[in-house]
Structure 1
Amino acid sequence: MKQMFMHGDGELLQTAVLDNGKLVEFSMERSENSSLVGNVYKGKVINVLPGMQAAFVDIGLSKNAFLYVDELLHPHLEKQPERKPAIADLVKPGQEILVQIMKEPIGGKGARVTTHFALPGRFLVFMPTADYVGVSKKISTEQERTRLRLLGEQLRQNEEGLILRTATEGASASELEADVLQLREQWSRILAGRLRHPRRLKFIAKPI
């Protein structure tokens, strides 16, 4: 027997599907009037514009999203090539690509998207491929900033990047680790691509 449970909390709608008492599906959706910034989509490159160093990506919205070449390069500036490559060498029409909205659609223009993914948690922002640790400049003392930076380096794996937010001041190592583990798991679910194009993946970001 299948059961569906729905819970509305302001703009957020949570839906759970149970099959014989076991959770088989869970999703969170915001109302159409809420911000799209931070949402992750599996899209398809429609066309590439070499003269503009940009591409248009269908992510299932009314207007195709705009992807600039800089948003395809490594998120860490120090790891970007000295000479910017042609966008036609990076993406091709028909190619499927995972993107995150960084700027809302305005008027006749589609959303601006990036491949520099950032998943915000309670204490930190998880960046799957950024390969660096940053600490909020609002942290009060250099000693605390150094402590947090060292913790961030210990927690991140491989090419992961972390930004320690202002809320991390005074936070314990276990609290930060819990945040990282949760966001890492969230990223794994996104990569699994449970929802196919053009539907939005089950991730809604919060402001950094």
Structure 2
Amino acid sequence: MKKFLINTTPWETRIAITERNQLENIYFDAIPNNRLERSFFRGTVTKVLPGIQTAFVEIGQEKAGFLHISEIDRELAITRMSDLTDDQDDGFEADECAVPAQPAPTRHEKPDMNKILKEGEAILVEVSKEPIGEKGAKLTTCFTLPGRFVVLMPNIPRICISKKIGQAEERNRLREIIQKSLPEGMGAIIRTTAEDALEKEVVRDLNRLFKNVLMQQQRQKSCMRILI
């Protein structure tokens, strides 16, 4: 009499076939890590629908993800609608808790998806909800990556410094370190803990955060190749 013995783990399923207590065959099936939630993607905006304040973003999946205006980071909206560039400073100074996390209206006008995103442009997004049925993944830009000395803001190209760092010379030193180390199109909040820190320590912290984003993107590309 044949018996089927099945063993399942989060990363692999194993099936053994025995007859008269003798092993006949054994099969291994690796389970790809294809969950999308909390993963980062460098997506491309394919369509902007101002009527419902939503944009569709191609992230390499069967269905494009959807990004609603409520999932646009407040500071990102302000930056885009104010036409701020990477090296402009609107006087915003960050305290330790002033990390943009929740969407809110801009300072001067109501947020407008047409003014924030353009079709064909690239944007870094995080999947906040898995795709269901005919609906694509729900996306958000409301995320930051906190480190020991800095908080990386992948979608907001500005540098903010904790108000608790009072010395102008130290503020300028830290700003220069971050300016020459930041990836293009990204920004950072310099935390109070960065005061008097060595340049190599601050740069190492920033690079570690950036590599986390790249590793997430690369992991998803690998999973997509397995699934295809």
Query: What is the TM-score normalised by the length of structure 1?
Result: 0.49
Higher-Rg structure is: 2
Query: What is the TM-score normalised by the length of structure 2?
Result: 0.46
**Which one has a larger percent helix, Structure 1 or Structure 2?**
2
